[in-house]
């Protein structure tokens, strides 16, 4: 830990008690969400390795530890809803339905990637699944989400727009402008804050005068919810309530998911701002670990429509599926092609400068 200036207000950085108790889902749904968490985890473990090998370059921000948020929340949306995310968006893209090969090829910079290899890890985009980015600008997605919701309103569509952003975005002007306008015009936006306690190396209490993010959002006159983002069951249930509220009132709602990233901010972060013991404590209540344990505690061999259960064999089979998908995605990306140099100015709208 480096020595830092005193804080205005100390907040609790300890993890919540690990989620416990029965999982109120049928087996198919529980396994589907577990598989999605495994797909994100295995994809990102591989991405970190590929980064070390120089196959993936530029910035890479891992979502490991936060998987329950994207998985629980996005499974509460309809396919026609819009999603806007941040640069930490591999999980959101996968759960929304982006093929893993297109995601991996994008990280490689190959033209078979979802954005022709021009965006990289931070700019995943997929019109087919209504994923409107991936955005490198902190808070940059919020005005886009409000615009998408306004467009839907003007076109007489009922879709809502879910916008994911970090706690770091809450100190940005774009956050305040977006919440204000969405509330004033009663636009159907679901503001989903992934509060992992840090914006890069800055703890939330060093950046926010008000660390109760729901209180902040409520000042814009909108309903708020807060959930344990380490518990996929709680995330899903809270998101379902929030979605229902947006659809019923056609106005914005703010949801805070209290979560934690297990890895460094990006691949260039020595992590001098937090104790190893703090990270270890959160890892112990990791979303994959606790959800798996809860399902296993319910026994093996659950049937469709019955109580969700999981045997070790079933867990290993799901994990093998996730790993096979990652291996296929790597093969796809490796076989991908570079955009020819003569195409590089295609779709660039700035006029060519005179020599």
Ligand X SMILES: Cc1ncc(C[n+]2csc(CCOP(=O)(O)OP(=O)(O)O)c2C)c(N)n1
Which position among 245, 265, 294, 309 is part of the footprint of ligand X (CB under 6 A)?
265
Site for ligand X in 191-250 (CB under 6 A): 194, 196, 198-200
Cβ distance to ligand X smaller for residue 168 or 251: 168
Q: How far is the CB of 310 from ligand X (least distance, A)?
A: 29
- Neighbouring CB atoms inside 10 A of 156's CB total 6
Which position among 134, 166, 229, 336 is part of the footprint of ligand X (CB under 6 A)?
166
Cβ distance to ligand X smaller for residue 236 or 265: 265
Of the candidates 199, 134, 209, the residue with the CA atom closest to the CA atom of residue 176? 209
Q: How far is the CB of 34 from ligand X (least distance, A)?
A: 23
- Neighbouring CB atoms inside 10 A of 110's CB total 21
Cβ distance to ligand X smaller for residue 62 or 242: 62
Q: Are 197 and 125 in contact (CB under 8 A)?
A: no
Angstrom distance (rounded) from CA 205 to CA 223: 23
List CB contacts of 107: < 8 A, sequence separation 6 or more: 47, 50, 56, 60, 113, 120, 121, 333
Cβ distance to ligand X smaller for residue 194 or 325: 194
Number of residues engaging ligand X in binding (CB under 6 A) = 14
Q: What values do phi and psi take at 177, rounded to 5? A: -65, -40
**257 near ligand X, rule: CB under 6 A:** no
Cβ distance to ligand X smaller for residue 166 or 252: 166
**138 near ligand X, rule: CB under 6 A:** yes
List CB contacts of 310: < 8 A, sequence separation 6 or more: 30, 31, 34, 292, 295, 296, 298, 300, 302
Cβ distance to ligand X smaller for residue 255 or 329: 255
Angstrom distance (rounded) from CA 296 to CA 27: 12
**132 near ligand X, rule: CB under 6 A:** no
**11 near ligand X, rule: CB under 6 A:** no
**169 near ligand X, rule: CB under 6 A:** yes
Q: Are 24 and 18 in contact (CB under 8 A)?
A: no
**159 near ligand X, rule: CB under 6 A:** no
**251 near ligand X, rule: CB under 6 A:** no
Q: How far is the CB of 199 from ligand X (least distance, A)?
A: 3
Which position among 42, 88, 90, 130 is part of the footprint of ligand X (CB under 6 A)?
88
Angstrom distance (rounded) from CA 35 to CA 61: 21
Find the helix or strand (DSSP H, E) in which 82 lies: strand 82-84
Which position among 35, 48, 115, 136 is part of the footprint of ligand X (CB under 6 A)?
136
Concatenating the DSSP letter of every residue in 112-168 gives TSTTTTSS-GGG--BGGGTB----SSTTTHHHHHHHHHHHHHHTT----EEEEEEGG
**254 near ligand X, rule: CB under 6 A:** no
- Binding residues for ligand X, rule: CB under 6 A, are 88, 136-138, 166-169, 194, 196, 198-200, 265
């Amino acid at each position: 830990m480096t020595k830092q200036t005193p804080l205005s207000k100390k907040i609790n950085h300890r993890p919540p008690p690990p989620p416990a108790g029965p999982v109120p889902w049928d087996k198919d749904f529980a396994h589907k969400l577990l598989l999605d968490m495994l797909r994100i985890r295995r994809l990102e473990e591989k991405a970190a390795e590929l980064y070390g090998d120089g196959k993936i370059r530029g910035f890479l921000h891992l979502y490991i530890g936060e998987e329950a948020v994207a998985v629980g929340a996005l499974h509460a949306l309809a396919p026609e809803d819009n999603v806007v995310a941040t640069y930490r968006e591999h999980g959101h893209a996968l759960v929304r339905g982006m093929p893993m090969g297109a995601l991996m090829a994008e990280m490689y910079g190959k033209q078979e990637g979802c954005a022709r290899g021009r965006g990289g890890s931070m700019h995943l985009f997929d019109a087919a699944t209504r994923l409107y980015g991936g955005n490198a600008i902190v808070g940059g997605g919020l005005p886009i989400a409000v615009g998408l919701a306004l467009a839907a309103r003007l076109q007489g569509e009922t879709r809502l727009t879910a916008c994911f952003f970090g706690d770091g975005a809450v100190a940005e002007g774009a956050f305040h402008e977006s919440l204000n306008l969405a509330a004033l015009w009663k636009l159907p936006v679901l503001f989903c804050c992934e509060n992992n306690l840090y914006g890069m190396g800055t703890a939330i209490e060093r950046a926010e005068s008000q660390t109760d993010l729901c209180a902040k959002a409520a000042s814009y006159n909108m309903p708020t919810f807060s959930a344990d983002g380490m518990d996929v069951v709680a995330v899903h249930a809270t998101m379902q309530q929030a979605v229902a509220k947006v659809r019923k009132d056609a106005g914005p709602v703010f949801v805070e998911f209290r979560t934690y990233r297990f890895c460094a901010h990006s691949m260039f972060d020595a992590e001098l701002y937090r104790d190893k013991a703090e990270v270890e404590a959160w890892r112990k209540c990791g979303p994959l670990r606790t959800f798996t344990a809860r399902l296993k505690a319910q026994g093996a061999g659950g049937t469709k429509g019955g109580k969700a259960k999981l045997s070790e064999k079933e867990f290993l089979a799901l994990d093998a599926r996730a790993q096979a998908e990652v291996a296929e995605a790597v093969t796809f990306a490796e076989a991908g092609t570079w955009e020819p140099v003569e195409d590089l100015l295609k779709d660039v709208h700035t006029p060519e400068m005179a020599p």
